[in-house]
Structure 1
Amino acid sequence: MRIRTNSSNKPPSPVVDKVNPIPTIAFVSKSKNKFRAMLEEQIEKDRSLTVKERFDIFISETSFTALTKICKAGNIFKQIVWLILVLAMLSWLCIQCFWLFEKYLSYPYEVKIELKSSQKMEFPSVTVCNRNPIRRSRFENSPFNAPEFKGLFEVWQNSQLYDKAVKSMKNQTKERYDGDGGSSEEDTYVMSQMKNNSINVWSALSDPVTAAAFYKTEDQEMVATFGYATIAANMDQSELKSYGHQIEDFLVSCRFRGMPCSPQNFTFVPNVKYGNCFTFNAFNNSQDPLYSTYSGPLMGLSLELNVQQYEYMPALAQDAAVRVLVHTRGTFPALEDDGFSIPVGFMTSVGLKVTEITRLTPPHASCATEGTIENLYQTRYGVIYEKSTCTKTCQQNIWKEKCGCVVPLYEKPENSSVCDCMNHEEQACLWEKMDQMQECELMCPNPCIEKKFEPLISMGTWPSKHYEDYLDYKIQHSSLDFMGDDKIDSDDNLAKVEVYFREMMYETIEQQKAYESQNLISDVGGQLGLWLGLSAVTIGEMFEFIMAIFKAVTAKAVRRRNRETAVESLEDCHRRLSLQEFK
């Protein structure tokens, strides 16, 4: 057989694949010059494509189905129908995307509530105060008994309604009463007539003058409390402490997790209403925080307290009790706002449920670790940030600016005077400016992390009859008030409280972002794919097509400019030759 050979040394022409425009032989050829020549040839061919040719290639290869349907429709009617459908779907897509972006920019959040268990839980701070702020034995030589405050802490009898009702009934029965037994007999007759006619003291309010005077009468306890707070606000804390009940007299017995504790485990905290208060497990007592590993009263705090009722001021303390507040360690105990009272003669059991709250920062929510103003409670007591203390500071600043004085129930700012509770003009100013306190809401956001203790309170008679003798023996050897012949009655002075965790579990309330950027991208991508059949690949194809069109237009402009430059060069050369021939 005769084999035909190619007389030429040239390699066979490469076969160009329409899918892959670069010949395969180019990758196996050993000649770099040939490979480069083929690449340049292919690049030049790609540059020579017109815009229409590039558009046709894009339509045949793109995954943009809606555009393909319009361009490849068989007739003009189908093209119009597909165009209308695509425009309708595009409009609805824009509406859907607008709603999605509106939802995203509203920064919604959801609240997740979960119940968690723990093997060890941090025990809260427990603040206790005697209901009576001033000891009677110290009142006589104190600033509270100054001449200008004479009668402020005394209880007076207000019987204006009773007197008016009796006077009215006497006038009604005067003509019918014909006895001569004197005023005593007449009073008895008047009382019987009032009972028979179901007339009580409230009947006196039918008289406008009596009603007007009655509704302007201030409560005695409120006046005495404001008076105490006003005087105390201008006193040194050490001096103020000396007039109140002392922890050594107040505390009879203390146990935590079955182990004894003492007055050294308590920290003094002044209070504008209750005087001397004392905090167990305080953050600033140079001691480590305390923990509980078991639930129930045996593993909590047990206190036996002596209220010293013989030292009570009746205008300031109308009930014999102990004020108690359970709060997060490091927070300021505002017992005038929160807390509960435990009566004497009872054992009060306080089971705690713990709730941890976690809030989001702006723009989803408005929590912060600090307020926008200086918090007086943080500055003076070193406590952590709380919305309530920040709000009180903000209100004091507004009152100081607008009224020239501040209320005595909140921490007093520097270089400020306390408003007179008996001055009606100053009181009117304070009430009027309460409408401007909305700005404090912006200055004092909620803390990002907060812990709450929800108490479940139950009571029982204490001590029991069989335990009473043992208690008497114990207190006779622990407190001077119960020693000697003049000892006080334990039933009227002792109160017991137990504070503990109900269970070793806590509830978490957490704000979480409900719609984040990844949710927006996913939803927008789903809408694009649902209504127009678009995807991320389609976006890449369109970008590639736009770049190709830009290159084609740019190359065409460059070629036109090159031709114009060449023509100008030829014309210039022709003129020069003509000049030389002429010479």
Structure 2
Amino acid sequence: MFEDEGVALRSEPRDKGRSSKTNINRRWYRRVMWLVVCLAMLGYGSLQCHRVVTDYLTYPKKVTIGVGEDMSTEFPAVTVCNLNPLPNRERLRGHPVWGAFVKIEEENLNPKCENLTEQYGKESADPAYGAGTTYGGGDANVGDATDDLNRRKRFAEDTKYSIPKDLTTADLSNDELETKRKRARRQAKDEAQTTRLACGVYYKYFLKMQESKQGPSIAKQSTESCSKDDYKEKLRFNPLCGVEVVCDNFGCFDAHLNVFMETTKFNSNTNTTMVCPSCSKKCWRKKWFDSWAKGKLSPDQVVELFSKSRTPDFSDIMGTFSPSPLDLDDYGVPAKYFIRACSYDQSACSHEQFYGWTSDSYGKCYTYNSAYRKVRIRGSKNTNYPGLATTTSPGSMNGLRLTLNIHADQYLALLSSEVGARVIVHSPHQIPFPEDQGFNVLPGVSVSVSVTKKVIRRVGEPYGNCSNTTSSKRFIRYSSIRCKKQCLEREYWRKCGCRVSMNHDDDIDADDKPERHCSIFNTTQKMCMKMTAYSFHRGRLSCQCPPACLETQYKTQVTASETNRLFYTIVQNMKNTRIADDLCSGSDNGTVRVHIYMDTLAYEEIVETPAYTFSTLLSNVGGNLGLFLGMSIVTMVELTEFLVDIVLLLLSRRRRQKEHQTIADHTLKTQNRTVIKEAGT
């Protein structure tokens, strides 16, 4: 019995050991399972948090389109310009340049209807220059025109590159001599092309222009730096061919990369020296070239220039003749002769309420409801800005009504192919650019313009790229188009040394602002302007001009109807006031009537806002951590506190160990001293 009990008693520790081992094994599996789960959740949660942060760093934005409505709205500014910048033909008769245009108009009042080609340019002798027609003064042609042109071209080709003299004097057969000449000419041509690609500024520009029109050239662009220190280019303009000519160390070439040569002849019949370029069938008197350089043109010269046009509407020639700022000021039409009648919201207004300024292409322009118009304070010499016009009544019964006298009978016809006025509806806080904005209004009809407003609010950095800051002291509101125009103008100043724009260039505050304007007769300045504009349109200038953060746009809908002349006749007779010039002259070609009104007080609003803010980032990160790891801000604070406690515990334990070690060292030293003292006694 006792033996059995003893056996039972001895067997109990074994059973407890087995159960403890089993529990340990079970706890080990659980730890591994939880470790795998925690690592998986930690990895997937970290991946989700990385995606959330990555999405936030892209700074997305959302666009909201809504409709708002005001009880009273600011009426837009309305700018009107004459399509012809110099409608003053009678005063221009004695002008050194425009006088020739007046004479040509008078000699071509009736259309020529006989001996015309069916297609423009069909009889062109040279596709690079157009047809070589003859105008008056037949002494410009010397001998047979076609044979003389071919002879000059062959002469130019033969003398384009310098050929060693020994090849012309060597004792060789004609075939061998011709072969060597061709080889030398080919080598000289390759050398010239390589040097021009590396050193020539104008040659590379002409080549790019040809490639943009005709496709890539077989000529390879040189990547080598210019090694020819004495290479020089001299630019000039040949008015007979209407083309720029460049002469360098290897010869002369024109803007079409054709060989160019000039020969001189003496005409004994007229006792004049003639200059014969290789690009034309004709010869010009030398004094004509001299008069062109001095800025004086004769009717014959103007006809020659327009005859070289390569477009059916002279659009390639019109840029050559741009009125100077002085001409626009002297021959532009004042506001009181341009704006004949004006009313706003059924109340009278006058030309004195318009702000006048000068456009680059249209000359004198006038703006109604401009924020930049100043008025003189009564009884004082000081000026002030009046308030802007507002309206509470939309619809066709209200708005701005204008009657304009465009002086079509005084048009300088070759300066504009259209008759009428240019109208731009824009923000009162901006000055427009009629070359890029607006629409044309034809005379003889009544034009109605319905206007709706649109407001755009853009978001700035880092979600978007917009600007509200401007360095202008005059224009408070930022404008992207004005920024680009001023950037191009500054580049003209820097590269060409002259001013081009007349449209608010006085707003640019810079120390390097040139005093003089660029001249159309200065070939270097003209070519510099072309090259600079080419770089600007290709995006090669560093112009940082983002869109405005706050922009107000006006959408227009234009309709036209026939004018009731009897109505305006009765008004003029009863009021005994001239309200339109066409009523008495009988011509419908000189008066423009336009009516601009707000269609509704409602407006479209486009608002950009951040689609992913910092609070959204915190919410998403917290949601991922809570979902996959069960963490929250409180948990993170507790975890931080726990880690701090562990660090403090480790530091305190290490400090106690140092203290114990110090006490032990001190005790050991004390014992050693006691032992030494006892040993000495």
TM-score by length of 1: 0.70
Partner SS state of residue 450, structure 2: strand
Question: Is residue 201 of structure 1 aligned with residue 201 of structure 2?
Answer: no
CA change 1:216–1:277 in 2 (3 A) is: closer
In the TM superposition, what whole-angstrom CA distance separates every residue of 1:446-480 from its partner, at most 9, and x where no partner exists? 2211100010111111125x525315526862269
Question: Is residue 252 of structure 1 aligned with residue 202 of structure 2?
Answer: no
1:40 corresponds in structure 2 to: none
Q: In 2, are the aligned partners of 1:369 and 1:448 still within 8 Å (CA)? A: yes
Q: In 1, are the aligned partners of 2:42 and 2:628 still within 8 Å (CA)? A: yes
Q: Aligned equivalents of 1:430 and 1:337: distance in 2?
A: 19
1:384 corresponds in structure 2 to: 477
CA change 1:107–1:348 in 2 (3 A) is: same
In the TM superposition, what whole-angstrom CA distance separates every residue of 1:490-517 from its partner, at most 9, and x where no partner exists? 5332221111111111111111011011
2:357 corresponds in structure 1 to: 269
Q: 1:503 aligns with which of 600, 604, 607?
A: 600
1:280 corresponds in structure 2 to: 368
Partner SS state of residue 36, structure 2: helix
Q: 1:82 aligns with which of 29, 34, 47?
A: 34
Q: Aligned equivalents of 1:564 and 1:291: distance in 2?
A: 90
Q: In 2, are the aligned partners of 1:345 and 1:463 still within 8 Å (CA)? A: no
Q: Aligned equivalents of 2:59 and 2:24: distance in 1?
A: 43
In the TM superposition, what whole-angstrom CA distance separates every residue of 1:378-411 from its partner, at most 9, and x where no partner exists? 45x5463211111111122234434555645766
Instruction: Specify the code of the residue in structure 2 equivalent to 1:122.
Output: E
Alignment of 1:341-352 (within 5 A): 341-352=440-451
Q: Aligned equivalents of 1:518 and 1:88: distance in 2?
A: 27
Q: In 1, are the aligned partners of 2:86 and 2:328 still within 8 Å (CA)? A: no
Partner SS state of residue 209, structure 1: coil
CA change 1:548–1:330 in 2 (3 A) is: same
Q: Aligned equivalents of 1:342 and 1:480: distance in 2?
A: 16
Q: In 2, are the aligned partners of 1:352 and 1:499 still within 8 Å (CA)? A: yes
Q: In 2, are the aligned partners of 1:421 and 1:427 still within 8 Å (CA)? A: no
Instruction: Specify the code of the residue in structure 1 equivalent to 2:445.
Output: F
1:290 corresponds in structure 2 to: 389
RMSD: 3.4
Question: Is residue 355 of structure 1 aligned with residue 454 of structure 2?
Answer: yes
The structural deviation recorded for 1:78 is 3.5
Q: In 1, are the aligned partners of 2:339 and 2:404 still within 8 Å (CA)? A: yes
1:51 corresponds in structure 2 to: none
Query: Which stretch has the larger CA shift, 75-84 or 90-99?
Result: 75-84
CA change 1:383–1:303 in 2 (3 A) is: farther
The structural deviation recorded for 1:440 is 4.0
Question: Is residue 429 of structure 1 aligned with residue 531 of structure 2?
Answer: yes
The structural deviation recorded for 1:262 is 0.9
Q: In 2, are the aligned partners of 1:152 and 1:224 still within 8 Å (CA)? A: no
Q: How many residues align?
A: 457
Q: Aligned equivalents of 2:103 and 2:677: distance in 1?
A: 128
Q: Aligned equivalents of 1:495 and 1:323: distance in 2?
A: 10
Q: In 1, are the aligned partners of 2:358 and 2:502 still within 8 Å (CA)? A: no
Instruction: Specify every segment of 5 or more residues in structure 1 that has no aligned partner in the other structure, as ranges.
Output: 1-70, 167-199
Q: 1:227 aligns with which of 321, 330, 336?
A: 321
Instruction: Specify the code of the residue in structure 2 equivalent to 1:357.
Output: I
Q: Aligned equivalents of 1:76 and 1:164: distance in 2?
A: 109
Q: Aligned equivalents of 2:62 and 2:582: distance in 1?
A: 58
1:184 corresponds in structure 2 to: none
Partner SS state of residue 278, structure 1: strand
The structural deviation recorded for 1:341 is 1.2
Alignment of 1:418-567 (within 5 A): 418=518, 420=520, 423=523, 425-426=527-528, 429-430=531-532, 432-434=534-536, 437-441=539-543, 443-463=544-564, 466-473=566-573, 477-478=577-578, 481=581, 487-489=584-586, 491-567=588-664
Q: 1:370 aligns with which of 453, 464, 469?
A: 469
Q: Aligned equivalents of 1:469 and 1:288: distance in 2?
A: 34
CA change 1:429–1:254 in 2 (3 A) is: same
Instruction: Specify the code of the residue in structure 2 equivalent to 1:220.
Output: F
Instruction: Specify the code of the residue in structure 2 equivalent to 1:342.
Output: V
Q: In 2, are the aligned partners of 1:353 and 1:503 still within 8 Å (CA)? A: yes
Q: In 1, are the aligned partners of 2:424 and 2:439 still within 8 Å (CA)? A: yes
CA change 1:138–1:283 in 2 (3 A) is: farther
Q: In 2, are the aligned partners of 1:133 and 1:274 still within 8 Å (CA)? A: yes
Q: In 2, are the aligned partners of 1:360 and 1:512 still within 8 Å (CA)? A: yes
The structural deviation recorded for 1:250 is 1.7
Alignment of 1:134-173 (within 5 A): 134-137=86-89, 139-140=91-92, 145-147=95-97, 150-151=100-101, 154=104
> If each structure's helix is expressed as a fraction of its own residues, which one has the higher value?
1
In the TM superposition, what whole-angstrom CA distance separates every residue of 1:277-320 from its partner, at most 9, and x where no partner exists? 11111112231111011211223111122222222111123332
2:48 corresponds in structure 1 to: 96
Q: Aligned equivalents of 2:40 and 2:349: distance in 1?
A: 78
The structural deviation recorded for 1:529 is 1.6
Instruction: Specify the code of the residue in structure 1 equivalent to 2:481.
Output: S
1:14 corresponds in structure 2 to: none
2:379 corresponds in structure 1 to: none
Partner SS state of residue 54, structure 2: helix
CA change 1:268–1:406 in 2 (3 A) is: closer
Question: Is residue 318 of structure 1 aligned with residue 417 of structure 2?
Answer: yes
Q: Aligned equivalents of 2:345 and 2:504: distance in 1?
A: 35
TM-score by length of 2: 0.61
Q: In 1, are the aligned partners of 2:452 and 2:599 still within 8 Å (CA)? A: yes
Q: Percent identity?
A: 24
Q: In 2, are the aligned partners of 1:254 and 1:301 still within 8 Å (CA)? A: yes
CA change 1:439–1:408 in 2 (3 A) is: closer
Instruction: Specify the code of the residue in structure 2 equivalent to 1:473.
Output: N
In the TM superposition, what whole-angstrom CA distance separates every residue of 1:230-278 from its partner, at most 9, and x where no partner exists? x22xx3xxx7334111211222221111110011211111112211111
Q: Aligned equivalents of 1:565 and 1:287: distance in 2?
A: 90
Structure with max Cα Rg: 1
Query: Which stretch has the larger CA shift, 533-542 or 416-425?
Result: 416-425
2:407 corresponds in structure 1 to: 308
Partner SS state of residue 297, structure 1: coil
In the TM superposition, what whole-angstrom CA distance separates every residue of 1:400-434 from its partner, at most 9, and x where no partner exists? 43455564576665346526389484465245423
2:59 corresponds in structure 1 to: 107
CA change 1:294–1:454 in 2 (3 A) is: same
CA change 1:248–1:383 in 2 (3 A) is: farther
In the TM superposition, what whole-angstrom CA distance separates every residue of 1:41-87 from its partner, at most 9, and x where no partner exists? xxxxxxxxxxxxxxxxxxxxxxxxxxxxxx99943334333322332
